[in-house]
Amino acid sequence: MSMIWHFPSTDGGPDEGINDSGVWQFEGNRESSVARECIQNSLDARVDENKPVRVVFSKIAVDNYQIPFIDGLNSII
C-alpha cells in the first residue's frame, strides 16, 4: 500500500512555518503546551455552554517504525 502525507493548502494565506509565533510558544514543555491548546479548543467548541467539557489524555511511547509512512512525514517536517 502506498500512501502520502497531505497537509491542506493555506488558500493563499501566509506560510509562517517554524518562525510563526504560535510555533515557538510550544517550545519547552511540549506536553503541557499541547494539553493547554487541546483544552482551549475543546472549551471553544463545546455544544452546550451549561455543561462541562471533559478532556482525557493518555501518554504512550511509540517507536518510529510503528508510525505508518514515517519516512514521508520526516521529509515534510
> What is the b/e burial string over 16-48, where b = at least 16 CB atoms within 10 angstroms of the residue's CB?
eeeeeeeeeeeeeeeeeeeeeeeeeeeeeeeee
In a domain, 32, yes or no: yes
Total domains, the chain: 1
Residue 4 maps to a domain: no
Q: Residue 48 carries which DSSP code?
A: -
Residue 1 placed within a domain? no
Q: Which residue has the cell 493518555?
A: 58
Is residue 54, in this structure, part of any structural domain at all? yes
What are the contacts of 47-51 at 24+ separation with CB within 8 A?
A: none
Flag whether 49 is in a domain: yes
Domain that holds residue 63: 19-76
34 domain residue, yes or no: yes
11 vs 17, higher pLDDT: 11
- Tens of pLDDT, residue by residue over 15-73, are 665 555 555 555 667 788 888 889 999 999 998 999 999 999 998 999 988 988 888 88
